[in-house]
Amino acid sequence: MADDDTEWKPVQWGASDKDADIKYFNALGMNVNMWLWQSKGCNAAARILWDAYKSGAGPFHRFHRGVALMLAGYAAETLNKMVLIDAHLRTVMFPPAYARLDKYFPKSHKLRDLAKEARLRINEHDRRTLDQLSKYVTWSGKYPAPLKANDYDGPVAFAIKEEATAIDELWIRYTRLWPKLLKQAGVRLRN
């Protein structure tokens, strides 16, 4: 019983509920395992695409580097949001009945900010890597140019040799960062 003698009960779903999809929305959206699997799936897809590009096998082209880095950024973003959802779920009665998830984590693709809010312990080098990956999540992996001109910092798809090297280095930094993020997220979930 709560302090005010109000008995708290879980949400009961009946056949007459007109928003029955909310039940399933929450079953997926508030399930940290689903977020973890999604994150791992994005990471695996990014690695497959990058490895195929590097091997020169098949119809893979340098344009796919941006897509691989976008997926890598999505993996980091989803992992951070998983930690934030878990933290929120520790403060509410279960099962929740929410119609929106973006009330419980920032509606943002700024990976540094998400990692900070998720309280993942990473260093400044890692934070710069997340900043660079954010560009791929917001536009470079999806579009040939950003939505706003002031976000444009060069034609990534037509990368000159120096930029291609920087892209390769970003990938290497991501592959070193990913296990750290995964480990930190796991620690946060256990606490």
How confident is the model over 118-134, as pLDDT tens digits?
A: 998 899 999 999 999 99
Confidence of residue 18 (pLDDT cuts 50, 70, 90): low
Query: Of the candidates 162, 82, 115, which has an alpha carbon nearest to the alpha carbon of residue 170?
Result: 162
**What number is the average pLDDT over the span 91-108?**
70
3-state class of 150 per DSSP?
A: helix
- What is the radius of gyration, based on Cα positions, of the chain? 20
pTM: 0.80
The pLDDT, as a whole number, for residue 3 is 47
Q: For the residues 16-39, what does the mean pLDDT come to?
A: 75
Q: CA-based angle 124:184:182, to the nearest 5?
A: 100
Average pLDDT over residues 83-110: 76
Name the H helices within the chain.
21-29, 32-55, 64-89, 111-117, 124-135, 161-190
Residue 43 or 10, more confident = 43
How far from chain centre, in Å, is Cα 175?
A: 15
Instruction: List the structure tokens of 111.
Output: 């990976």
Looking at residue 16, what is its pLDDT? 52
For the stretch 141-178, pLDDT in tens is: 777 777 787 777 665 555 555 577 888 999 999 999 99
φ/ψ region of 110 (left if φ > 0, alpha if ψ in -120 to 50, else beta) reads: beta
Q: Rounded to whole angstroms, how far apart are CA atoms 188 and 179?
A: 14
* Side chain identity, residue 39: S
Residue range 21-190 forms a domain whose CATH class is mainly alpha
Specify whether the CB–CB gap between 153 and 128 falls below 8 A: no
Average pLDDT, the chain: 79
Cα–Cα distance between 19 and 24 in angstroms, integer?
10
pLDDT tens column, 36-74: 999 999 999 999 999 988 887 666 667 788 889 999 999
Domain locations in the chain as residue ranges: 21-190
pLDDT reported for residue 2: 43
Share of the chain above pLDDT 90, in %: 34
By percentage, how much of the chain surpasses pLDDT 70?
71
In angstroms, how far is CA 150 from the centroid of its own chain?
24
pLDDT of residue 152: 72
